Structure 1
Amino acid sequence: MWVSANRASRVLYNFLLSIEKPDVFLVPANVCPIVLATFLKAKVSFRLVDIDQDSLCIDLIAVKDILSDSNTTFGLIFVRTFGHTGNCEADIVSMKSQYSNLKVIIDDRCLGIPELDQTRFSEEIDMTLFSTGYSKFVELGYGGFAWLSEKYHSRYHSPQIDYIEDAHEILVRKFNHAIQGRTPFNYDIENWLDDRDLPISLESYFSKIKSETPASLKQKSTLNAIYRQAVPQELWLGEEFNLWRFSILVSNKQAVLDSIFSAGEFASSHYASMAGIFDDTTAPVAESIHSQIVNLFNDYRFTEAKAKRVAGIVKKEAKK
């Protein structure tokens, strides 16, 4: 069953209200803070877990250790970091059969290629979530959708909520302040979540996704080729992370970013660890990766000339 809304966070919120809530959800420490705000709004408890050094997704070994606590019921949101393309479904599904206290699994693919073939989804994954909002693989400026397993077809609902657009901007500013200062985040805004449906029919929405996907793939392939040619290979994060942006690891991250912005170009640095901000845990792997990560743009905002300039700056800074 397909479900949709104007934002993927609203689809997630609706789902969290539709399930029989586990005691706690296990969430990767490098998750986008909007996801955690959605859990807080839905009044669903969560526990942040560090990430795996290779996949940069939630550490499944650590998850299994936590699941061994048989007195607690759990949910799991598996976030595909940077649109990670590795095949993780089998590992996730096997845990559901191995641990009876793992009640709900969400596969968050919001940074990946939207998948519209329903035959590719496992019934053991309760919800598989996609987004076509700002800076996503297919960027329409709106839209989130998900495939639900059969047992949630009759349960899923979308309650009416209050929404003030400015409240979302205030929430984001609060996130940024807490992340930059590494200070605890105080959740005290309730009307930030978009209450709108898709502005077009689901059929038209899927048609736009299908038509936009090849162009996005072509653009990313073109710019990624430029980065591969100019950026030293030892800096590459890995091909499985390059669908969203071309990501690199550098020891002098701030110098690289400063040089890029000083040249009138831009790059990003996602995602900071939420450990210690949304709870009192630590996540050394997530923190280490964030201290080195730089995401080079490969979407329609960038031209080949821009990519060449940024790649040249990265190469120059790497020599230092």
Structure 2
Amino acid sequence: MIDSSLIATANRACTLLYNYISQYNKGTYLLPVNVCPVVPLTFCLANVPFEFVDINKESLCIDKCACLDKIAENRGKYQGIVFVRTYGFLDDASVFFNNLHSLSLRLKIIDDRCLCIPNINTDMQGADMVLFSTGHCKQVDLGRGGLAIFSKIESIKIEGNLLYDGTNEVAIYKDAFLNNKLLEKIPSGWLSLDYLDIELRDYLSLIESSSQEHISHRYRLNEIYKSQLPESIQLPNKYQDWRFNIYVDVSLKNVILKSLFSNNLFASSHYYSANRLFDYDTYPISESLHSHIINLFNDKYYSVEKALSTCKIINKIINENRF
């Protein structure tokens, strides 16, 4: 088992991220533009600069070549990168991470695996920090909790020196996306910096038991989606762990979502390009992905019956709109 001195826990993954980038804050971080908005908002709270990078069309993760080019052209500018595992796809990024470190020894690589199942014995692949979450809507949903693994012993002290007043940052950024407007001001008061309220051993035990339940339920629902839905709209299996993702025509996406909601069923549209909260720049690959993707639920909140009904509605709409 990994040395516990290389592990840190907190009430949220964002708490761990905030403390880490506050410690290593002498430059700009590169973020994939399809990242969850709470990540750039965490950087804003920490007053650490960041730049968005579009994703790669094949991997759906941050464009590696663009990152390497940026750092090579200005090695003194960048402090780090957040590498997000899109839809929980855990490929081998070790060559990329090694190339990053060869360009800049001071560069900090944060491997954001918040959509993956936490595993303290995971291969870090050369990252400086691997970040997991057990918060709401994650694969292991405990309603709270973040877990970080470090390549070396870090002095991560969680100090409640931020204003916290219960501000709902999710409601704020969803409203901005819905109304296609920039954030009028960067929200504060939403991140409570605190330690996790259970011991590491108990936390890991909860993760283990919950992950087994999730894997079993996910397999059952994913098999329904795989067998009932057209193969042509399904993303490859490697992207189907966190949610079951389908790629539909732009004209049908909102039709499907509205029909599911009206039948007391649920699905989600994955994150808008996060830059839309801050500027009007265009990131074509990320924008295209968002325009087509629907996330179908395969977690404990969704039943076999709901999954079957979801497939019937999607198939009906697709069949009615065949050209």
**Aligning the two structures, in what range does the TM-score lie when normalised by the shorter sequence?**
over 0.9
Tell me the equivalent position of 1:72.
77
What does 1:3-42 align with in structure 2 at a 5 Å threshold? Answer: 3-19=8-24, 21-42=25-46
- Aligned partners of 2:8, 2:279: CA distance in 1, in Å? 31
Tell me the equivalent position of 2:3.
none
Cα shift at 1:191: 1.9
SS at match of 1:291: helix
SS at match of 2:182: coil
* Cα distance per residue 1:256-299 (max 9 Å; x no partner): 10111111101001111022422343211100110111000000
Cα shift at 1:101: 6.7
- Aligned partners of 1:265, 1:305: CA distance in 2, in Å? 10
Tell me the equivalent position of 1:216.
214
Tell me the equivalent position of 2:193.
195
- Aligned partners of 1:202, 1:186: CA distance in 2, in Å? 39
Tell me the equivalent position of 2:110.
106
Cα shift at 1:75: 1.0
Tell me the equivalent position of 2:265.
265
CA distance change for structure 1 residues 174 and 53 in 2, over 3 Å: closer, same or farther? same
Cα shift at 1:72: 2.1
Tell me the equivalent position of 1:166.
166
Tell me the equivalent position of 2:316.
316
Tell me the equivalent position of 1:130.
132
What does 1:140-159 align with in structure 2 at a 5 Å threshold? Answer: 140-150=142-152, 153-159=153-159
The percentage of aligned residue pairs carrying the same residue is: 36
1:121 and 2:93 aligned: no
- Aligned partners of 1:102, 1:220: CA distance in 2, in Å? 40
Cα shift at 1:148: 1.2
1:137 touches 1:244 (CA, 8 Å); kept in 2? yes
1:163 touches 1:195 (CA, 8 Å); kept in 2? no
2:115 touches 2:138 (CA, 8 Å); kept in 1? yes
Query: Alignment partner for residue 94 of structure 2, among 89, 102, 110?
Result: 89
SS at match of 1:53: coil
- Aligned partners of 2:316, 2:238: CA distance in 1, in Å? 25
- Aligned partners of 1:109, 1:135: CA distance in 2, in Å? 14
> Which amino acid in structure 1 is aligned with residue 315 of structure 2?
K
Tell me the equivalent position of 1:250.
248
- Aligned partners of 2:60, 2:9: CA distance in 1, in Å? 27
Cα shift at 1:96: 1.6
1:48 touches 1:279 (CA, 8 Å); kept in 2? no
* Cα distance per residue 1:10-61 (max 9 Å; x no partner): 0100111122x24211000011111111000011000011011121111111
Worse-superposed segment, 10-19 or 224-233? 10-19
Tell me the equivalent position of 2:184.
186
1:77 touches 1:105 (CA, 8 Å); kept in 2? yes
Tell me the equivalent position of 1:283.
283
SS at match of 2:275: coil
Cα shift at 1:224: 0.2
SS at match of 2:184: coil
Superposition CA RMSD, Å: 1.6
Unaligned 5+ residue runs, structure 2?
1-5
TM-score, normalization: structure 1?
0.93
- Aligned partners of 1:297, 1:276: CA distance in 2, in Å? 25
* Cα distance per residue 1:133-187 (max 9 Å; x no partner): 101111111100100121xx243222222453531x1x22220121122222234
SS at match of 2:166: helix
- Aligned partners of 2:58, 2:154: CA distance in 1, in Å? 38
> Which amino acid in structure 1 is aligned with residue 71 of structure 2?
L
CA distance change for structure 1 residues 281 and 125 in 2, over 3 Å: closer, same or farther? same
Cα shift at 1:244: 0.4
Cα shift at 1:235: 0.4
Cα shift at 1:102: 6.3
